[in-house]
Structure 1
Amino acid sequence: MSREQMDRYTPIFAIAQAAELAEMHPQTLRQYDRIGLVSPQRTRGNTRRYSLHDVDQLREVARLSAEGLSLEGIRRVLQLENRVEELQAQVRELERALSEELLSRPERRVFAAGAAGEVVSMRRGARLRRSSDVVVWRPSGQ
């Protein structure tokens, strides 16, 4: 596997190596896998393979445990941290798509909210037509 194909999610470490990197006993890693705290990928022979991401999560488990969190609390913290990472990646992808859109169509750099809350790209100087305009009327002389 070339260096370009590997990332922090590539499962490369056997349990003994991952335990050493995380400064834990291999039995602790097996226990965390059983309860779903850190779940490594499996090979065809059903042996565990840990990624750098898994090792980082094991270190985070040790840190949170040392601070007094229960294993269930740690599981929830890791779940939320993983969700934050997913959302950050989604934001980066949306920012990239928006940037490409702006570069490919420089005349359409104005955005508005559509009736259903969607983002609508508009021409500069154009107004969004709405079917349910609210008109405020004040009698003259007041």
Structure 2
Amino acid sequence: MNTSLRASAHVSHKGWYSIDWNTIQQYVTKLRQRIYHAEQQNQRRRVRKLQRLLLRSKANLLLSIRRVTQQNTGKRTPGVDGYTASQPNERIKLYQELLLGRNVFQHRPKPAKRTFIAKKNGKLRPLGIPTIRDRVYQNVVKNAL
């Protein structure tokens, strides 16, 4: 299973829709379960190692890009850079860019785009909209936690 996952998680020459999402989802879910069980057994060192493995995982990056650009309700909302990855080839390009500069620990997020939403009482509520790249990194880290 591990070798087929690595082959399916590599998207350099394949199309976005040819990715085996079930296998990738199973891999990330299994890693998250291992993190949970290690935490339950109070194995801190193992938890950190598994989290680091998940943070660097190509499968986790792919799932995060899919969630941010296809499944979330704000998928068409750009951040301060004005970028949205709505087409499959744009998602592959985003994956390859994030794969190159992939150190999650050294990522410097851009400022959030500030928008105001009207509340029922007539006042405005501030809303910060991060860039697509920042949302992907947020989801990668959220999966590891």
* TM-score in terms of structure 2 length: 0.24
Structure having the higher helix fraction is 2
Higher relative contact order (CA 8 A, sep 6+): 2
* TM-score in terms of structure 1 length: 0.24
